[in-house]
Amino acid sequence: MELAQIVPGLFILLCIAVMGLHVLSLPANWIILVLLALWKFLHPAMDMSWWFFLGLAALAGVAEVLEFVIQLRGARKYGASGRGNLGGIIGAIAGAILGAGFLLGVGALPGALLGAWGGCLLVERLNGRDWAEARHAALGAMWGKFFGMTVKIGFGAVILSLAVPPVWGS
């Protein structure tokens, strides 16, 4: 195997490894786009136009919006108030940050999910809802966060799968 095949293969493996940053609630899709732009800069003959990059960036933007909307709708479907929703979002961010210190960073994922649940539960209770209603709304915030993250990771896989052929061919 020659160097012309090894280097693109290692770069693709790096991009696949970056996908793991989703577990830490880090912007993996955007980091992959930056890496692809750097690869394009270093390999200008690569068969990937800047319009293609714009399309990949649009996919990453849609993924961010969908993650947010799915979390909001999940909580709302389970009866969360607007304030409870905000508590879930803030709780998910705080949980991901606090959880990142556990299990070599993988704790950010359960931290985000538990944070969404806990943040929504706390705010709903502070707004005077009984435990059963608050727990139910918090469950929606947690499931919304889970499915939102799942969609975002799926979009990252699509971005990566669209980028691999031009990188491999460069």
How many whole angstroms separate alpha carbon 61 and alpha carbon 170? Answer: 26
Whole-angstrom distance, CA of residue 70 vs CA of residue 140: 10
The count of residues in the chain is 170
Helices (H), 78-130: 82-99, 108-126
Question: Of all residues in the chain, what percent carry a pLDDT higher than 70?
Answer: 96
pLDDT for 107: 84
Q: How far apart are CA 115 and CA 75, in angstroms?
A: 13
Q: Consecutive 10-residue runs of the chain (170 residues): their mean pLDDT?
A: 75 93 85 94 86 95 94 90 91 88 80 94 94 94 93 96 88
C-alpha to C-alpha distance for 18 and 31, rounded to whole angstroms: 7
Structurally, the chain folds into a number of domains equal to 1
Q: Give the tokens for residue 86.
A: 């905000």
Which one, of 91, 152, 147, lies nearest residue 124 by Cα? 91
- pLDDT, residue 4, reads 62
* pLDDT score of 48: 85
pLDDT at res. 3: 64
Nearest to 114 by CA among 124, 99, 128: 99
**Amino acid letter at 117?**
W
* Residue 139, domain extent: 3-169
